[in-house]
Amino acid sequence: MPEQSTADDQAPGTRRRRADAERSVAQILDAAVDALAGDPEASMAEIARRAGLVRATVYVHFPTREALVEAVTERAIAGAAEVIAAAQPERGDPSEALERVLRAAWRSLGRYHALVAINTRLPRAELHRRHLPVLGLLHPLIVRGQRAGAFRADTPAEWHLSMLLALVHAASGELQAGRISEGDVEAALVTTVLGALA
């Protein structure tokens, strides 16, 4: 299991992990994101190659492929949660707050979009558990908007959330396919999402 911490919190009696190890773990996680984005079944060899490391070294830090994939998704979701939280979903008019959060998330989460494909084969409960950090931030905003009459209340907030994520992913796909320009996609996404929820 990789340490998520950055510095001086090693357990008493244990030595701290060396700096090069820390660097390797980061390289592996970055490489895994890139590799898995292009191919959800990317091999450990491919990930190691991208990280500029040898396959055995990857296994030093992540005992199995599954452990690595889990670490990658956990980190991606944590990053998303951080960006969303920074956009303050609890502040201001619900529609405006949603637009603000959406724009912030859109700009910073590009590379993680393809990781969704990995999670689709996980058990439902596990999937939900991993997304809790993000859902926990957005769900109150949706509910708040529903209470204020800004968002439809005839469908559950969870539905709105799923549709929102789907539209974001689809928008990213349209952009990648070149069927819409980078300048237009954000505005189109915002209007479509707000229309879908309102």
Partner DNA sequence: TTGACATCAGACAGTGATGTCTGCTTTACT
Partner DNA sequence: AGTAAAGCAGACATCACTGTCTGATGTCAA
Report in angstroms the alpha-carbon separations of 11 from 5, 21, 23, 71: 12, 17, 20, 21
Report the C-alpha gap between 153 and 48 in whole angstroms: 48
- From residue 137 to residue 156, the character string flagging contacts with a copy of itself as x (rule: CB under 8 A) and all else as - is ---------------x-xxx
Q: Are 94 and 144 in contact (CB under 8 A)?
A: yes
101 is an interface residue for a copy of itself by CB under 8 A: no
Contacting DNA within 121-180 (CB under 7 A): none
Look at residue 170 and give the partner it binds from a copy of itself, DNA, none, a contact being a CB closer than 5 to 8 Å depending on partner kind: a copy of itself
Report the C-alpha gap between 95 and 27 in whole angstroms: 38
99 is an interface residue for a copy of itself by CB under 8 A: no
Please identify which residue in 26, 45, 78, 170 interacts with a copy of itself, judged by CB under 8 A.
Answer: 170
Alpha carbon 54 to chain centroid, angstroms: 27
The residue type found at 100 is R
- When the beta carbons of 3 and 174 are compared against a copy of itself, the nearer one is 174
Token pair in block for residue 23: 């660097």
Nearest CA to 74 out of 34, 121, 35, 129 is that of 129
- From residue 12 to residue 51, the character string flagging contacts with DNA as x (rule: CB under 7 A) and all else as - is ---xxxxxxx-xx------------------xxxx-----
The single residue listed with the structure tokens 């890139």 is 34
Nearest CA to 23 out of 44, 53, 64 is that of 53
Instruction: Please report, as ranges, the residues that interact with DNA according to CB under 7 A.
Output: 15-21, 23-24, 43-46, 52-57, 59-61, 63-66
Site of interaction with a copy of itself (CB under 8 A): 39-41, 116-117, 120-121, 124-125, 127-128, 152, 154-156, 158-159, 162-163, 165-167, 169-171, 173-174, 176-180, 184, 187-188, 191-193, 195-198
